[in-house]
Amino acid sequence: MNNTNPAIWREAAEELSIDRNDVQVWRVDLRTARCEIEQLRQILSNDELQRAGRFYGQQHRERFILARGTLRRILGRYMNIHPEKLGFSYINSKPEIMPELDGKRLRFNISHAGDYMLAAITADRMIGVDIELISVDRPHLRIAERFFSHRETTTLRALPEPQQIGAFYACWTRKEAYIKARGLGVFRGLDCFSVSLAPGEAAALTETESDPEEIKRWTILDINPASGYRAAAAVEGGDVKFRFYDWKP
């Protein structure tokens, strides 16, 4: 399988449907969503409003409202219910739709960076997504040594310098997507598994310390969200059909 996305972001049909083999990834431009921040605020639950209020700084507060409000709108369309009626439960801070609301067993994961949020939706497959804003000024090798596995760091170091930043972000987003799909806690065991990262190598989980079968259990896909960003999704199982939609407020 060629795990790259040629980045064809389309407008979705009015009626949304999703099958067991689908992964539907939504790209939300938070700058565009800002025009409806007041309406989005009104569909948040009390605990979400309290959480928004606890963010330090208006930018973070607004980003949470825009992201969570838009997520509610997207999920509400799949489930054919009013967005404010949705309820979430949390395991390790990972939100899931309350089972009693969700006859379709929708699963989702979101990630935000810079001006974008990605929301990846499946019908009952574990899913994780990560988007990062590329920064050339980061101490990439130092971060890699702290968080990446031995195999990943060795591969990264061996690359010619101009290829290292791309490989670093490929590795980072694939790792985060996988760890988010599994709903693992933060900073847990990032060095205990490896993903591919060399240029031209298909996105994949390549090594785990726990269960060797785990490698075959996951599909990893690179997503091209916008210039200057890098993203990846990890989904349980194979034979997956990805679709990419632009959210229109």
Ligand X SMILES: CC(C)(COP(=O)(O)OP(=O)(O)OC[C@H]1O[C@@H](n2cnc3c(N)ncnc32)[C@H](O)[C@@H]1OP(=O)(O)O)[C@@H](O)C(=O)NCCC(=O)NCCS
Phi/psi zone of residue 152: left (φ > 0), alpha (ψ -120 to 50 degrees), beta? Answer: alpha
Query: How many residues line the site for ligand X (CB under 6 A)?
Result: 24
The SS3 call for residue 224 is coil
Contact 225, 167 (CB under 8 A): no
At 9, list the tokens.
């972001």
* The only residue of 27, 112, 140, 230 in contact with ligand X, by rule CB under 6 A: 112
- Of the candidate spans 24-32, 88-96, 198-206, 234-242, the one that interacts with ligand X by CB under 6 A turns out to be 88-96
Alpha-carbon gap, residue 114 to 30, rounded angstroms: 9
* The only residue of 23, 66, 126, 179 in contact with ligand X, by rule CB under 6 A: 179
67 binds ligand X (CB under 6 A): yes
Contact 195, 175 (CB under 8 A): yes
CB 15, min distance to ligand X, A: 26
CB atoms within 10 A of CB 207: 17
172 binds ligand X (CB under 6 A): yes
At 59, list the tokens.
């930018």
CB 91, min distance to ligand X, A: 8
Phi/psi zone of residue 101: left (φ > 0), alpha (ψ -120 to 50 degrees), beta? Answer: alpha
At 74, list the tokens.
């997207």
At 151, list the tokens.
């195999």
186 binds ligand X (CB under 6 A): yes
- Of the candidate spans 19-27, 32-40, 171-179, 233-241, the one that interacts with ligand X by CB under 6 A turns out to be 171-179
- Of the candidate spans 22-30, 39-47, 181-189, 194-202, the one that interacts with ligand X by CB under 6 A turns out to be 181-189
- Of the candidate spans 17-25, 32-40, 79-87, 93-101, the one that interacts with ligand X by CB under 6 A turns out to be 93-101
**Residues at the contact surface with ligand X, assessed by CB under 6 A:** 64, 67-68, 92-95, 109-112, 128, 130, 147, 172, 175-176, 179-180, 183, 185-187, 190
